[in-house]
Chain A
């Protein structure tokens, strides 16, 4: 069965610190996609990244970077030089159901960045 585990429930850092959010997944599918979403206090989920199971290249987008390792079934997310605006709940998600495009979400990690 598919499963996404975000072991860190809450993280608190001081502005400008680097922080890594962990995501471990389980799936029997050979083709799957992994996602990260940000949920600010307003509630709406904002898409950050999608990664397919055949592409293990790390990705960097500004202060955000993602490390995908199939060997450890992990898809970790790092924010460099964190800012107060990064405070939010971050969700990792895994596709399942083949081409139906359904997602299973982890329980989320609440990140608080203090000035």
Chain B
């Protein structure tokens, strides 16, 4: 089955620790995206990548980092510099400009 997988589904982190969220897609999509969703809020773009080995900051990139070494993978690291990291994180992919984005099931990160 084609789709996007994110792991883990739930993640707990102590303050001051970095943590990496996984996102894998087997849809052969060129573009991948990371969003953050807070309660009662829409999705806000953290980072996006249109092609392997290239990525751009979104609206709220501070405290986050990404890599795009393979077409199918786009991991997101939440660093200790992110002041309020507790949120729901969604990964998406798309096969071209203006096309719909397909979303993974999300990872809920809680900082203890």
Cβ of B106 and Cβ of A43 under 8 Å apart? yes
Chain B window 68-112, contacts with chain A (Cβ cutoff 8 Å), 1 for yes, 0 for no: 000000000000000000001010101011111111111010000
Partner of B96, one of A35, A101, A104: A101
Cβ of A9 and Cβ of B40 under 8 Å apart? yes
B31 interfacial by beta-carbon distance below 8 Å: yes
Q: When A and B form their complex, what is the total count of cross-chain residue pairs whose Cβ atoms lie within 8 Å?
A: 64
Cβ of A99 and Cβ of B106 under 8 Å apart? no
**A47–B99 alpha-carbon span in the complex (Å):** 11
**A44–B108 alpha-carbon span in the complex (Å):** 12
Cβ of A101 and Cβ of B45 under 8 Å apart? no
Q: How many residues of B contact A (CB 8 A)?
A: 27
B17 interfacial by beta-carbon distance below 8 Å: no
Cβ of B98 and Cβ of A43 under 8 Å apart? no
B-binding residues in A (CB < 8 A): 4, 9, 33, 35, 37, 42-47, 50, 52, 91, 95, 98-108
